[in-house]
Chain A
Amino acid sequence: MTAQLFDVQNVTLRFGGVVSLNNVSLHQNPGEILAVIGPNGAGKTSLFNSLTGVYAPQEGTITFNGAKGPLSVIGKKPHRVNAAGVARTFQASRMFSAMTAFENVKIGAESHKGLGVIGAMVRGPSTRRHDRETDERAWSLLRFVGLEQQANTLSASLNYGARRRLEIARGLATNPSVLLLDEPAAGTNPAEKLELTTLIRRVRDEMGVSILLIEHDMKLVMSLAERLYVLNFGSVIAEGTPDEIRANPAVVEAYLGSTDTGTTQGAQ
């Protein structure tokens, strides 16, 4: 078996007496669009924060095998995890609001370019070359997500859907192997949802970046994900393809609830 992109083994995360993740094991294959679903409070975002180094789970192992070699995530700072090839977006989008869309993406593109304080002070040739390179990269990513026209708009004054796309571009700018999307479609309208679905698929197909997705919108998840994990009360209760998940009675009962069954059936 080839190396898995993410290999999560028996991870338990506690906050005092509250168990947020309980013995969670899962994996992601390279190039896969994987989704994690579950009701509110199931531990999805905790899982994301554990995968990106924001939280350090007390038990278990998380191994990430990116293009830059394997990394044991637990205990590493978020910026180290990002350097290894894990980019993410946030549930409530976190832009650098006083920066333009372009600067937001540029920040991502240049963060791993070495330090160069002296170079920055005197604007030496290598600094200028890096500047040109990251400028180009930022432009090409803005084009990729379709925000070229708004490049010089303050990210604070972008609409919600555009901010979502900008966050994806900023994440991609750090040159990741996997992009973690925390409820990318939350608060977007149906047209934006459709755009987003296409964009996410393009990220994987054209850029070769794997996708790990948390989403509440079942329609989006079922059309996009190739495989799903279902979390409930911090534990994995099911795993499988969208069709398998839909047919799984435990999922229907625990997560979707009996009244929601109809909606899921009509999802595709």
Chain B
Amino acid sequence: MKFLQSPTAKRWGSLIALYAVVTVMTGPPGNQSSPTLGFTSSFSETVSFFGLFPAPRGLFLAGVFGLIIGAVAIYQRTALQGMVKQARQTVAPRYQSVTQRKSLRGVFYALVLFVAIILPHVVTDPFWQSAMVSQIAIYVLLAIGLNVVVGFAGLLDLGFVAFYAIGAYTTAWITGALPAAAPFHHHLNAFWAIPIAIVLVMISGVVLGLPTLRLRGDYLAIVTLGFGEIVTIFLNNLYNITGGSTGSNQIPHFSIHLGPVKYVWGLDPVPYYYLTLGFVVLFLIVFSALEHSRVGRSWVAIREDEIAAESVGINPLKYKVIAFAIGAASAGFAGVITGGQSLFINPTTFTLAFSINILVLVIFGGMGSIIGVVVGSLIIQTISMYLIHTPPAGFQNSDLYIYLGALLIAMMIFRPAGIWPSKRRRREIVAVEAGTAPDQYNGQGSKNGEGA
């Protein structure tokens, strides 16, 4: 009996419950004459495997959960307890150790970059070449941008897609692909959209941020959610400007005409892959420099204790707006690439589900951890694309998000800080365990107990 109350039993129990829910939700629907059909046949389908009949769905589900359990088993050692121990150890030595490990890390990064560069020559399947740009590289870019807002500054932004949309529509606008007149007589090269979109998107980030970032937590989430919806609705309704639900005309490809150098990005996704990869690397370098700078430390301070941060002279609003603008900039940039590569854009891409999808990548990878977010995006997007491209028996495209949801829930049960949590997040867990993490809404700042 005592075992049933242990955390281990609870975790595995939740996993079994999750399995049941996923089985039912991805099973056949019920109908009027037998409303419970969906429920009963969901299970009979999967267990028919034991009756030695071919049961593809049962096999598939067993495969999915086998993978999850396998991953959990690998991570079990480094789950919460291990992470705490690890964090304690990493803190102990002086700063020297970081520089000592730098060279090793450099080799590792160089290796990863090398793999990323040769990848399009190894993977020649056209589906995958295209997916590597539009579904993986772009998502990595978006995820590291949202990570600045959610992970570094601790601001829950549910309207991130708005900045992505603004970036994409700016590209269409300046290249003359929208009903609205382009701002310059000669339609500009899509490259010009990069600086213009980034500036526009940062401005909209500041405009949204200045009034709303005074709000905290849930309130901010609701406001940003509304902002995302407003932008999508505008794109749909302002027919004369945005083209309404049909979206843009054909957006020209990126091209370079610099003296003797002439290059046009065409329908082949590989050049786009390299373009995006280049910017992903740039953003990674810049953002990780930012994380370990004064700005990054100020974000951590604000996230941990806003009142204390103010008392040492940090202006929380300023730093939050900066996080918003920087995160928005990378989303705007991703929008430009999408606009240039996919040629046509319309509002159906820019939905709330998209924002949430990006948020899932960040949470899955480990909030605040740049490497984690990249790894998380790679894993989730690759799995999704694989399932869509080569669906195993028993898999339906419409069920994709149920499986991803299950994966995320399993992750939250066994590895709450993400697959590759940042050192700081790990430390925060130590702080919470030690019971010394201050509560934002209690203690000194509150008025209770004073002034009677």
Binding site for B on A (CB under 8 A): 13, 15, 18-21, 40-41, 43, 45-46, 49, 52, 54, 77-79, 82-83, 87-88, 90-92, 94-100, 103, 106-108, 110-113, 115-117, 120-123, 127, 130-131, 134, 151-157, 170-171, 173-174, 182, 234
Other-chain residue from A18, A100, A113, A116 in contact with B91 (beta carbon distance below 8 A): A100
Q: Chain B residues near A106 (CB, 8 Å)?
A: 297
Could you tell me the distance between the alpha carbons of A77 and B296 in the complex, rounded to whole angstroms? Answer: 22
In the complex, are the beta carbons of B94 and A111 less than 8 A apart? no
Answer whether residue B441 sits at the interface, using C-beta atoms and an 8 A cutoff: no
A95-B436, A98-B430, A98-B431 are known contacts. Are A174 and B286 too (CB-CB below 8 A)? no
In the complex, are the beta carbons of B450 and A41 less than 8 A apart? yes
A43-B450, A95-B308 are known contacts. Are A157 and B93 too (CB-CB below 8 A)? no
Q: Chain A residues near B444 (CB, 8 Å)?
A: 45, 49, 90-92, 94, 182
Q: Can you name 15 A-B pairs with beta carbons within 8 Å? A: A20-B450, A20-B451, A41-B451, A45-B444, A54-B310, A54-B445, A77-B310, A78-B307, A82-B312, A94-B307, A94-B308, A96-B301, A107-B298, A110-B294, A157-B434
Answer whether residue B4 sits at the interface, using C-beta atoms and an 8 A cutoff: no
Answer whether residue B1 sits at the interface, using C-beta atoms and an 8 A cutoff: no
Q: Chain B residues near A111 (CB, 8 Å)?
A: 294, 298, 312-314
Q: Chain B residues near A88 (CB, 8 Å)?
A: 311
In the complex, are the beta carbons of A121 and B450 less than 8 A apart? no
Other-chain residue from A45, A121, A234 in contact with B290 (beta carbon distance below 8 A): A121
Q: Chain B residues near A97 (CB, 8 Å)?
A: 304, 427-428, 431, 434, 436-438
Nearest chain A CB to B116 CB, angstrom units? 22
Give chain A's interface secondary structure class: mixed
Nearest chain B CB to A54 CB, angstrom units? 7
Nearest chain A CB to B345 CB, angstrom units? 29
Q: Chain B residues near A152 (CB, 8 Å)?
A: 91-95
How many A-B residue contacts, CB cutoff 8 Å?
176
In the complex, are the beta carbons of A120 and B92 less than 8 A apart? no
Q: Chain A residues near B430 (CB, 8 Å)?
A: 98, 154, 156-157
Answer whether residue B74 sits at the interface, using C-beta atoms and an 8 A cutoff: no
Answer whether residue B452 sits at the interface, using C-beta atoms and an 8 A cutoff: yes
Nearest chain B CB to A209 CB, angstrom units? 15
Using CB atoms, name the residue of chain B closest to A82.
Answer: B313
Could you tell me the distance between the alpha carbons of A15 and B283 in the complex, rounded to whole angstroms? Answer: 48
Report the 6 A-B pairs with minimum CB-CB distance, sorted nearest first.
A20-B451, A120-B293, A97-B431, A111-B313, A156-B431, A94-B308
Other-chain residue from B304, B307, B313, B437 in contact with A112 (beta carbon distance below 8 A): B313
Binding site for A on B (CB under 8 A): 87-88, 91-95, 286, 289-290, 293-298, 300-301, 304-305, 307-316, 318, 322, 326, 424-425, 427-428, 430-431, 434, 436-438, 443-445, 447, 449-452
Q: Chain B residues near A113 (CB, 8 Å)?
A: 294
In the complex, are the beta carbons of B311 and A52 less than 8 A apart? yes
In the complex, are the beta carbons of B436 and A156 less than 8 A apart? yes
Q: Chain B residues near A77 (CB, 8 Å)?
A: 310, 315
Using CB atoms, name the residue of chain B closest to A175.
Answer: B313
Could you tell me the distance between the alpha carbons of A151 and B438 in the complex, rounded to whole angstroms? Answer: 21
Q: Chain B residues near A52 (CB, 8 Å)?
A: 311
In the complex, are the beta carbons of B286 and A79 less than 8 A apart? no
Other-chain residue from B304, B315, B318 in contact with A98 (beta carbon distance below 8 A): B304
Taking A134-B294, A151-B94, A152-B95 as given, write out 9 further A-B residue pairs in contact, using a Cβ cutoff of 8 Å, ordered by the A residue number.
A20-B450, A79-B310, A79-B311, A79-B314, A106-B297, A120-B293, A120-B294, A121-B290, A174-B312
Could you tell me the distance between the alpha carbons of A153 and B316 in the complex, rounded to whole angstroms? Answer: 26
Using CB atoms, name the residue of chain B closest to A20.
Answer: B451
A20-B450, A92-B444, A97-B438 are known contacts. Are A153 and B91 too (CB-CB below 8 A)? yes
Using CB atoms, name the residue of chain B closest to A157.
Answer: B434
In the complex, are the beta carbons of B428 and A94 less than 8 A apart? no
Q: Chain A residues near B308 (CB, 8 Å)?
A: 90, 94-96
Could you tell me the distance between the alpha carbons of A121 and B296 in the complex, rounded to whole angstroms? Answer: 10
In the complex, are the beta carbons of A92 and B438 less than 8 A apart? yes
Using CB atoms, name the residue of chain B closest to A109.
Answer: B312
Could you tell me the distance between the alpha carbons of A151 and B296 in the complex, rounded to whole angstroms? Answer: 20
In the complex, are the beta carbons of B95 and A117 less than 8 A apart? no
Nearest chain B CB to A205 CB, angstrom units? 23
Nearest chain A CB to B87 CB, angstrom units? 8
Q: Chain A residues near B95 (CB, 8 Å)?
A: 152
Nearest chain A CB to B42 CB, angstrom units? 44
Could you tell me the distance between the alpha carbons of A54 and B428 in the complex, rounded to whole angstroms? Answer: 26
A87-B311, A174-B313 are known contacts. Are A94 and B450 too (CB-CB below 8 A)? no
